[in-house]
Amino acid sequence: MQTNLKAIRNYDAGLILITVLAVVAFIFVLLNLSSTTNLSTRFSQLTYLKETEGASLDFNSVIEIPASEWAHISSPVNLGMETDVYWFSMMIEPTQSNQSRFLLHIDYPLLDNLDVAVYNHVGSKPVVTYFSGDRRNFGDWPVAHVEPLFPLPVSAQSQRVIIRLQTSGSIRLPIRIWEETEFIEYTASRNLALGIFFGILVAMGVSNAFLTVTTKSVSFLFYSGYVINLALILMTLHGYGFSHIWPGSTWFQSKAIIVFANATIMFAALFTRSLLPIKRYSKKLDKVTKSISWICGLSIIVGLFVPYWLMIKALLLLLSLVVIFILSLGVWLSLKGEVVARYFTIAWGFLLVSGLCASLDNVNIIQLNISSNNLLVIGGAVETLILALILAINYSHSRDDLIDAQHFALEQEKQASTAKERLLEVQKRYQDDLEYKVQERTLELEITLRELSEVNQELERLNAIDPLTGAHNRRHFDKRLRSEGRRSRREQTPLSLIIVDVDHFKKVNDEYGHDGGDACLIHVTNVFQKLIHRPTDDLCRIGGEEFAIILPNTALDGAYHVADSMRHHLEVNPLEYEGQNIKLTVSAGVSSAIVTDENHAQSLFKQADECLYEAKALGRNTVIHKHLQEKL
């Protein structure tokens, strides 16, 4: 698809404008999505303890562990990927309020087991205990919210909160204590923004699915699958999947990230192959892109059976490699002059870099000041918007090319019609002259046909000649043997056949090269030709170093004499080649018979060939001759 320079500049300007607006808009949304506000944290003395193997703790025993064994940590907590049990302790400010109750909010829904106990400042037994996490049914959570939320008992004094956390993913604990009115205001704007975002993704996915049917383009289908799976994985990351779509399935909740993340990458790879002309520039890179989709499809199935902690590490590694590969691929095609690849690189840069940063943040390699989930929302929104623009531009270019092709075809048809009309006029104009010239042209045609016949005869002759030696070739030999066989049967005269093979020809080739071997074959042909005197006798080269001599109306003794004479003359006349004498010998098989049926001539050939092999077996440089009737 060719795009003129003016179109490129216009598209680039529009893309940059839309990209800048999208970035500004979603940075603004990010500020509203983040739970970081100017309000105080309302808790202090955040510490943690890692439960050792064999020392199982509960809320009654953990309170007795001295403070010296607890390690201090800052909020938000991010300890990377661990499967051990962690205990967190903190002191919260008094929760007495005339307006509303206080809520403990954990702004990260992907935690397997999350239990909370609240103690009086001087108490050793919990006042209230809550159990949450996505290994428990959503209906058993203390508050039906997309993220873990726990009501705090009303108290005029400080209280101690202890949290027990065990998960197969990242140990993340973004803690926030809200007044209920504050939390409602925050979630109202947050849910509105996320609702609009997910609604746009689903609408784009469904609309592109319908465009697949109307346009017959698989690009829309792959883009639809990509957008819908992107929406599902972001819903899972924000807790909307477990709370609204599959609230009763804790098993699927533990697999959802793996399933939807791999499906997203799979459709992204398929969409990339259908959108970018990768195969035109590199078949290997096209196969790599296709392999990514197959690997992700297989990972979806494997992820249903393999533990989450193992699959998530493999997924993060795969995501990192895919990020580098796709971005490099986009840059490479951009340098090749593909305009769409330029847009594609910018679009994927947003999502893939945000996804990579979020993945590194999840495994605690880097620390982000913003929520990794919110970062994915921003990257996904910007990327989806630009990809939709790319898809529209690409389809528009394809449609314009089709229209141009149709116009070109119509123009060609008009020109052909005009040319036809002019031709008819010319034919009508010269029709009378043509009648007078018919005889002249007929004579010219006869001369041409005669010349053509002569050329065909010469061509037929050349087709029967071996280009190296000048002797007749195998094709001529087969025809001539059948012809002479019929003559022998018709006239009841003997037909003799000699099959000759140059001895140790492979050794000659190995020692003197193929040029030397060719010179030997030409020398053999020249020696044989000098010994054939009758015009009916025919020398043919029927193989590499194999020759055949057809001798019509010749008895076995006469044929043997000819064969032995050829053998002798070649033996005493070595070839002078590049200052060296190459001694050559041949083995020959001779057979003779009066042909009695159609297949008799072929039997004669087989008999002569067998005699040749017998001569070789007897030490070479020998002639063996037999009547065909002796075998029959």
Residue % of the chain over a pLDDT of 90: 28
> In the block, which residue shows the tokens 């058993």?
140
CA distance 475 to 540: 9
Q: For residue range 534-580, list pLDDT tens digits in order.
A: 988 999 999 889 999 999 999 999 999 999 999 999 999 999 988 88
Give the max Cα distance, the chain: 135
Listed in sequence order, the residues at least 6 apart from 168 whose beta carbon sits closer than 8 Å to its beta carbon are 83, 112, 254, 307, 308, 309, 312
Q: Give, as one character, the DSSP assignment of residue 366.
A: S
Contact present, 155 and 247 (Cβ < 8 Å): no
Question: What is the three-class DSSP state of 176?
Answer: strand
CATH 2.60.40.2380 fits 43-184, yes or no: yes
Enclosing H/E stretch for 86: strand 86-92
Q: What is the DSSP string of 331-351?
A: HHHHHTT-HHHHHHHHHHHHH
CA distance 175 to 314: 29
Q: For residue range 411-457, list pLDDT tens digits in order.
A: 888 888 888 888 888 777 777 676 777 777 777 777 777 777 666 66
Tokens standing for 18?
Answer: 């839309």
Listed in sequence order, the residues at least 6 apart from 544 whose beta carbon sits closer than 8 Å to its beta carbon are 505
Give yes or no for residue 118 having a pLDDT over 80. yes
Contact present, 386 and 350 (Cβ < 8 Å): yes
Average pLDDT over residues 129-139: 89
pLDDT for 36? 46
CA distance 488 to 336: 73
Q: Structure pTM? A: 0.56
Of residues 256 and 169, more confidently modeled: 256
Question: What is the three-class DSSP state of 617?
Answer: helix
Listed in sequence order, the residues at least 6 apart from 234 whose beta carbon sits closer than 8 Å to its beta carbon are 198, 201, 373, 376, 377, 380
Residue 128 sits at φ, ψ, to 5 deg, of -145, 145
In 64-179, alpha helices (H) = none
Question: What is the three-class DSSP state of 54?
Answer: coil
Q: What is the DSSP string of 109-126?
A: ---SEEEEEEE-TT-SSE
Average pLDDT over residues 294-301: 92
CA distance 246 to 260: 14
Q: For residue range 205-215, list pLDDT tens digits in order.
A: 887 788 788 77
Give yes or no for residue 177 having a pLDDT over 70. yes
Q: For residue range 258-289, list pLDDT tens digits in order.
A: 899 899 889 988 988 888 888 888 899 999 99
Pairing of strands 623-627, 586-593: parallel
- CA 105, chain centre distance (Å): 46
pLDDT for 9? 46
Contact present, 550 and 538 (Cβ < 8 Å): yes
CA distance 514 to 287: 42
Domain range 461-631, CATH architecture: 2-Layer Sandwich (3.30)
Q: For residue range 310-361, list pLDDT tens digits in order.
A: 888 888 788 778 878 888 888 898 888 887 777 777 777 776 677 667 666 6
Q: What is the mean pLDDT of the chain?
A: 83
CA distance 318 to 262: 9
- CA 44, chain centre distance (Å): 54
CA distance 622 to 68: 108
Q: Give, as one character, the DSSP assignment of residue 552.
A: E
CA distance 58 to 87: 10
In 430-504, alpha helices (H) = 431-436, 438-463, 474-491
Of residues 179 and 32, more confidently modeled: 179
Average pLDDT over residues 184-189: 84
